Amino acid sequence: MRNSTIKNSLLTTASVLALLLVWKLLALYWNQELIMPSPETTLVKMWQVIQTDNFWPAVGYTLGRGLLGFFISCVVGLVAGFAAGFSPPVLWLLQPWVTVVRTIPVMSVIILAIIWFKTDIVPIFVTFLMIFPIIYSNVLSGIKNIDQQLLEMARMYRVKPRRIMTELYLPAILPYLLAGASNAMGITWKVIIAAEILSQPRFAIGTNLMIAKIDLETARVFAWTAVAIFISFVLEYALTALENRFKKWGQSQ
């Protein structure tokens, strides 16, 4: 490991410790578990929560909804981004839709979705509306920034358009897609849990958060929040690692 890397990870560790310290101090200051549970209480509560029958189904369903919404957004974003990237009419047709979707408040989408769909579908639908524009615009800018010299080379050597698509465009936009995806991954979990809180599916982290709040068990709110942070962190980290691996693909030789 290089010196700077060691230094950086030391700094990160110090920062995490400082965060826990501030949390502990605040808990001591209020001295009321209802307002600010201490880190230890939260940890104990988390252990209890993990052991309930409800825990794994809730985590599993939330994870499933999030990944499904995310996956659908990626596929549709990729297809729409490609279509808009190659056809100006499609671009101009899609533009108003994407702008509307991008600016619509999350809460309006959730409320409308609850009116329109079954509770289990609501979080997926909301995630899609929030994530799709991110993926779409990243794919679009990947196509706009394609290396013209590579493209010219492929055309001059009379490579078939279908192969130019799959072997040149697709790998070249991969860094853009992954950058969008890792950005979108973090947002997915925020959106999905917000949607679950309002739509109350049977198994969901959001539902459990809401129940904990109704029970006035702030430590449990913290515990479920920590679980959500953990999921988000792991998945975002994995995608960022992928993103770094393929970062240079789009650049010219």
Partner 1 sequence: MTFSLRHIDIRFGDLLVLHDLSMEVEEHKLTCILGPSGAGKTTLLNLISGSLQPQIGQIEGFEGKSISYLFQETRLLRWKTAEDNIDFVLKDHLSKTQRVEAINRYIEMVGLNEFRRYYPDQLSGGMKQRVAIARAFAFPSDILLMDEPFKGLDLQLKTSLMQAFINVWLTDKRSVFFVTHDLDEALLLGEEIFVLTPSPGKVKGVLINSIPHKDRDLNSPQLRSIKDRLYQLVTT
Q: Does 160 bind partner 1 (CB under 8 A)?
A: yes
Q: Does 171 bind partner 1 (CB under 8 A)?
A: yes
Q: Interface with partner 1 by CB under 8 A: which range of 18-26, 78-86, 89-97, 158-166?
A: 158-166
Give whichever of 82 and 132 is closer to partner 1, judged by the CB atom.
82
Residue window 70-99: x/- pattern of binding to partner 1, with contact defined by CB under 8 A: ------------------------------
Of the residues 103, 105, 108, 157, which one makes contact with partner 1 according to CB under 8 A: 157
Of the residues 7, 118, 144, 163, which one makes contact with partner 1 according to CB under 8 A: 163
Residue 213 half-sphere exposure, CB side, CA atoms within 13 Å?
Answer: 10
What tokens appear for 74 in the block? 């990626």
Q: Does 251 bind partner 1 (CB under 8 A)?
A: yes
Of the residues 58, 126, 134, 168, which one makes contact with partner 1 according to CB under 8 A: 168
> Side chain identity at 102, as an amino acid letter?
R
Q: Interface with partner 1 by CB under 8 A: which range of 46-54, 132-140, 149-157, 194-202?
A: 149-157
Q: Are the CB atoms for 207 and 196 separated by under 8 Å?
A: yes
Q: Shortest Cβ distance from residue 158 to partner 1 (Å)?
A: 7
d(CA 26, CA 48): 23
Residue window 107-146: x/- pattern of binding to partner 1, with contact defined by CB under 8 A: ----------------------------------------
Q: Does 167 bind partner 1 (CB under 8 A)?
A: yes
Q: Interface with partner 1 by CB under 8 A: which range of 19-27, 39-47, 125-133, 161-169?
A: 161-169
The alpha-carbon radius of gyration of the chain (Å, integer) is: 22
- Residue 144's alpha-carbon distances to 31, 91, 147, 246, in angstroms, are 56, 12, 9, 18
Give 26-29's long-range contacts (Cβ < 8 A, gap of 24+): none
Binding site for partner 1 (CB under 8 A): 149-150, 152-154, 156-160, 163, 167-168, 171, 248-249, 251-253
